[in-house]
Each structure stands twice: as C-alpha cells, then as structure tokens.
C-alpha cells in the first residue's frame, strides 16, 4: 500500500493540507497542488515529516492547461498515479441577485471544471493502477440558500459528476466517491463567518457561537477529521464503495 502516489488539490490550506499530511502515512509520494508557494512548502515539510516524498506543483486550476501540466509533472517524477483527491475550492459566497456571470464562471471553472479536467487527464493512469478519486462537494448541495447559491449549485453538480465518473469507473476499475463536509474550521469558514457577523452586526466570536446554535451542532469540524474520511475512502477497506456521496457534518443536515 505504501508504494502508492496521490495528487491532492487545495494542499496549501485547510482540508487539502490536512489530507495531504494524513495520506503521507499511507502513500509513498504526495503531489501538492495550489497557487501559493510558501503555504505549499509548509505542507511539503509536514508531508516529509510524516514519511512521504512531496512534489509541489504550483497551479491555478481555473486554467484549462493546468490539469495536463499536473499529470505530466507527476508522471515525470513518480511514473504512476494511484489517487486523485480534488479538494481545491473557492466559490464566492455572494447573494444570488448580486453575483456576476464572471464570479459564477470563475467559481465553476475552478471547483467543478478544475476537478473534472484533472480527473480526466489522470484517468489513464488511474485505470492502470486501479486507483481512486475523491471529489469534494459540501452540505450546501443539500440545502441551497440565496446567500450561497453558487457554491450550493456547484456542489450539487460535483455530486452528479462524481456519480458519472463512478459509472465509468465500474468499467475501468477506478473507484470514485464524493464527500460532503459540514462546517469545518478553515480560512474559508472564517471568512464566511466574518461576513455573517457583519451582516448580523455581531463580533466574530459571537457569530461562531450563534452559527452553532442555529445549525444545531455541538462544534465545528476540524480539517483533520475530513482527512481521516478521505484516507478511509481510498483505503483497501473501502474498495467496494463507489458512486457514493459521503457526508461528515456533526449532524448539520437534519433530513434522512
Ligand atoms: N470549510 C468548510 O466548512 C467546508 C464545508 C463544505 C465544503 N468545503 C469544501 O472543502 C474544500 C476545501 O475548503 P477549505 O475550507 O479547506 O478551504 P481553504 O482553507 O480556503 O482552502 C482552499 C484551497 O483551495 C485552493 N485554491 C483556491 N483557488 C484555487 C485555484 N484557482 N487553483 C488552485 N487551487 C486553488 C487554495 O489554495 P491557493 O489559494 O494557494 O491557490 C486552498 O489550498 C473546498 O472545495 C470547499 O468548498 C469546505
């Protein structure tokens, strides 16, 4: 199991960084994708300390050419791809009536099409290794609201895209699942809470507490908890699990 190679996008922060470091226990090489070099170097050090060889590839996944560059550089260095973990996401949380076409396109180009293009470019290698793919959606896919319509819509599309890849994966021997995190404490969550605190004219600390009460959850999730879920999904123990959307959210979604 330890001779495997994984690509992790969004590896400069939050859930992506935590996932790369967690997977360093199970994989020989971790390919770390994001735009910010200094942050990627910090993840790379932690990956090395956890026992795997890091490869930093700075890439803006909104660019169509990025997927090919990532796959080419990975193959040049490691000769194989066993897992592609699509975590990068930065869809703006702007009201439905205020969001411009450009902001919609930018969000979808990165989170939806960035993941789609990378998975397709890596597919021949995943087919050869009988590998795994994870796509990151989010609870907003199940409870869209006007204040975050774009991320909810894109997250719902990601669940559908993962299902389509999984169907192809049954033919090609590639396992594909999506994950739906609930509120996880990261830079993205803090920026959401800051906006929310301003709208409600309360402090950030008050917003953090109020959100938990309104969501009726005991606490925020940690990036490391989502990382454990990803590690399980691509482990031999979960090999029969494919085409599934897996939620980890402290009980935020109340429906069954
Ligand atoms: N935190 C939550 O509560 C929560 C809940 C549900 C779903 N999610 C999803 O989980 C994923 C990770 O979220 P997070 O909370 O960990 O966010 P985060 O801390 O803001 O991290 C976002 C990551 O995406 C990367 N990224 C953004 N734009 C990029 C681009 N154009 N090209 C390449 N990489 C890019 C960032 O790297 P650079 O800036 O260095 O490029 C960063 O590594 C996202 O898809 C998010 O929608 C999060």
**Backbone phi and psi for residue 179, each to the nearest 5 degrees, phi listed first:** -120, 145
Do 37 and 64 contact (CB within 8 A), yes or no?
no
Tens place of pLDDT for every residue, the chain, 256 residues?
679 999 999 999 999 999 999 999 999 999 999 999 999 999 999 999 999 999 999 999 999 999 999 999 999 999 999 999 999 999 999 999 999 999 999 999 999 999 999 999 999 999 999 999 999 999 999 999 999 999 999 999 999 999 999 999 999 999 999 999 999 999 999 999 999 999 899 999 999 999 999 999 999 999 999 999 999 999 999 999 999 999 999 999 999 9
Q: What pLDDT, in 10s, does the model give residues 17-61?
A: 999 999 999 999 999 999 999 999 999 999 999 999 999 999 999
- C-beta of 61 in contact with ligand 1 (< 6 A): yes
The pick from 11, 15, 114 for probing ligand 1's pocket by mutation, whose C-beta has the most ligand atoms within 8 angstroms, reads 15
User: For residue 35, how far is the Cα from the chain centroid?
Assistant: 15
Q: Structural domain boundaries of the chain? A: 5-183+222-248, 185-220
- HSE of 245 in the Cβ direction (CA atoms, 13 Å)? 20
- C-beta of 138 in contact with ligand 1 (< 6 A): yes
The pick from 90, 106, 135 for probing ligand 1's pocket by mutation, whose C-beta has the most ligand atoms within 8 angstroms, reads 90
Residue 174's nearest CA partner among 234, 86, 110 is 234
What ligand 1 atom has the least distance to the C-alpha of 114?
32
- C-beta of 39 in contact with ligand 1 (< 6 A): yes
Residues 6+ apart with CB under 8 A from 47: 20, 21, 24, 30, 32, 53, 54
Task: Report the separation in Å between the CA atom of 171 and the middle of ligand 1, taken as the mean of its atom positions.
Answer: 31
Q: What is the pLDDT of residue 175?
A: 98
Q: What is the pLDDT of residue 2?
A: 78
Task: Report the separation in Å between the CA atom of 88 and the middle of ligand 1, taken as the mean of its atom positions.
Answer: 4
Residue 6's nearest CA partner among 41, 60, 55, 76 is 55
Task: Report the separation in Å between the CA atom of 20 and the middle of ligand 1, taken as the mean of its atom positions.
Answer: 13
Task: Report the separation in Å between the CA atom of 17 and the middle of ligand 1, taken as the mean of its atom positions.
Answer: 10
Q: What is the pLDDT of residue 1?
A: 63
37 CB-contact burial (10 Å; exposed 0-12 / middle 13-18 / buried 19+) = exposed
Task: Report the separation in Å between the CA atom of 225 and the middle of ligand 1, taken as the mean of its atom positions.
Answer: 16
- C-beta of 200 in contact with ligand 1 (< 6 A): no
- C-beta of 118 in contact with ligand 1 (< 6 A): no
Q: How many helices (H) and strands (E) does the chain have?
A: 9, 7
Cα–Cα distance between 101 and 92 in angstroms, integer? 12
Residues 6+ apart with CB under 8 A from 118: 7, 9, 61, 66, 67, 70, 71, 84, 86
What pTM did the predictor assign? Answer: 0.98
Residue 116's nearest CA partner among 175, 66, 173 is 66
Q: Give me the architecture of the 5-183+222-248 domain, per CATH.
A: 3-Layer(aba) Sandwich (3.40)
Pick the residue whose CA is nearest to atom 31 on ligand 1: 60
């Amino acid at each position: 199991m330890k001779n495997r190679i994984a690509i992790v996008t969004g590896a400069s922060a939050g859930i992506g960084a935590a996932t790369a470091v967690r997977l360093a226990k199970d994989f020989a090489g971790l390919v770390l994708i994001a735009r910010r070099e200094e942050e990627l170097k910090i993840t790379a050090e932690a990956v090395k300390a956890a026992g795997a060889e890091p490869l930093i590839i700075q890439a803006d996944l909104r660019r169509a050419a990025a997927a090919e560059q990532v796959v080419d550089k990975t193959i040049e260095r490691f000769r194989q791809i066993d897992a592609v973990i699509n975590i990068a996401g930065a869809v703006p949380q702007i009201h439905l009536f205020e969001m411009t076409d450009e902001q919609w396109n930018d969000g979808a180009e990165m989170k939806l099409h960035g993941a789609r293009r990378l998975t397709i470019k890596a597919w021949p290698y995943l087919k050869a290794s009988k590998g795994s793919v994870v796509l990151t959606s989010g609870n907003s896919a199940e409870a869209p609201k006007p204040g975050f319509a774009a991320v909810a819509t894109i997250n719902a599309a990601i669940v559908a895209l993962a299902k389509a890849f999984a169907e192809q994966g049954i033919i090609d021997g590639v396992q594909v699942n999506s994950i739906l995190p609930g509120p996880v404490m990261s830079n993205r969550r803090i920026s959401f809470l800051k906006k929310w605190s301003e709208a409600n004219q309360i402090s950030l600390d008050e917003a953090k507490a109020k959100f938990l009460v309104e969501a009726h959850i005991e606490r925020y999730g940690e990036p490391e908890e989502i990382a454990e879920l990803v590690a399980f999904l691509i482990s031999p123990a979960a090999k029969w699990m494919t085409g599934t959307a897996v939620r980890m959210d402290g009980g935020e979604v109340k429906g069954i």
